Structure 1
């Protein structure tokens, strides 16, 4: 039985290699991964710096999974996504499971409860590939309400056993990929652009540290985790949070999300 499985995987790998540099590659890559782990949906996304990502391929069992993608995710919600933050680390390859790289309070965020749950996704695993210093590809394999269950331990182990070859296939196929839209986009850090937009549109002047804390909160970091990132005490983080909420005249993370999300959409519109 194990020999048959190895033979099937070898054949799927051969078909994927033959499909490199052709339009068939995504479909063959999907079939290759399906032999390692059953999934309900697949989306291949190119991230370019902090600019708006590009969807290169998608397939699904239930179309509802990608309904919020074009307007909400690409419209700015990606800035709060754990996989996007893996990309920002640079030179990322291999397999990552969403909940393994998500911040400690990710499931409490407005992003998770108001965007992510709409997709009906229950679990996500991504193969990362680095194209240039600034461009990362992710092939995200999801389990949603179609199957109604998460990936099993053996499936995750199977993906991790083959993670470098999976990354190499994506890198080879898309080695010449470049994003035209990002060429004229602002190279200013998001935190700086956000501060400028808040002042212009709402007359709210945040310090760089307050803006940083706002982004950490929305991404799902606890005060303890924010303190570790910023190398300050938890008490200091709580002071920054109080100052932030007072300046914005809000009292909850939901209000912070409602204030900043429209700004994210505009900040990434040309990226």
Structure 2
């Protein structure tokens, strides 16, 4: 009998029976160290990828890496020092986590701010990784803890995910999230029970004043973070409920107080503070 085709994984067709077997093996691996590898195999049957990393976010604290695999080791070279060292605060996937109770598939460029590709963060962090495309399965463990299984395409394959691969992932997004939630349901990072820290804008203002003698208003600190995350003046205005011209005034005030004239200088000023603000977790 001719097998029924399930879909595409790279250039190879995957049958329904092969997918079913991969799913069965993943379910059997729940609560065992084999789960990440079996989960990887299951997803690879839907969409070929070059790298995978499972990250646990908890509040605004430094995330934890629970699993990683890759073809080219270059992709994760900036991870431990740069991303976990504070750059995650500018990451679109991290900001999806902050929305709370997030499940299912998210493609990075679908949730990124409108000027994300113009940011110093994108051009200095993402270009180092050689990532061309990234899709994440989100799973909610508790109100404050989110897991993401991020599947990437880098210079190894040299191309983004295809339409059929993305469709296959989205058809099964809730099942994929449920598998992560079932496996890591008891996961609690060190310090998860600690009292929540003050909002990032507040801590950033305090650190700027203590270390550089720069006193920003709450709105100026908000605008600084929106700029670094890749929001245009129009998008910032929509978030804050003010006009684009008002945003431009806040930007000029911000740059004047910080004695800078570009986003690159703002990035250089604030990134060392991010690293210290997120040192615990």
Shorter chain as denominator, the TM-score bin is over 0.9
- 1:96-142 Cα distance to aligned partner (Å, 9 max, x none): 00000000000000000001110000000000000000000000000
Mapping for residues 98-247 of structure 1, pairs under 5 Å: 98-184=108-194, 187-247=197-257
Q: Report the equivalent of 1:93.
A: 103
For normalisation by structure 2, the TM-score amounts to: 0.95
Aligned position for 2:8: none
Measured after TM superposition, the shift of residue 186 of structure 1 is: 5.1
Q: CA RMSD in A?
A: 0.9
Query: Please, which runs of 5 or more residues in structure 2 have no aligned partner?
Result: 6-13
Structure 2 CA distance for aligned equivalents of residues 205 and 176 of structure 1:
42
Q: Which has the higher helix share?
A: 1
CA distance in 1, matches of 2:209, 2:195: 20
1:5 positional shift: 1.2
Alignment of 1:57-72 (within 5 A): 57-72=67-82
**Cα deviation 1:144-196 (Å, max 9, x = unaligned):** 00000000000000000000000000000000001113444652000000000
Instruction: Report the secondary structure of 2:105's partner residue.
Output: strand
Any idea what SS the aligned residue of 2:189 has? coil
Give the number of equivalent residue pairs.
Answer: 271
Q: Is the 8 A contact 1:51 1:185 kept in 2?
A: no
Q: In 2, Cα distance between the equivalents of 1:9 and 1:91?
A: 28
Equivalent position of 2:4 in the other structure:
2
CA contact (8 A) 1:48 1:179 kept: yes
- TM (norm. structure 1) is 0.98
Looking at structure 2, the residues matched to 199 and 161 of structure 1 have their Cα atoms a distance apart, in angstroms, of 49
Structure 1: segments with no counterpart, 5+ residues: none
Assess if the C-alpha contact under 8 Å between 1:185 and 1:270 holds in 2: no
Q: Distance in 2 between matches of 1:118 and 1:234?
A: 33
* Match of residue 44, structure 2, among 10, 31, 34: 34
Q: 4+ runs of 1 displaced by more than 6 Å?
A: none
**How far apart, CA to CA, are the structure 1 residues paired with 2:69 and 2:245?**
46
Please state whether the residue corresponding to 1:269 is helix, strand or coil.
coil
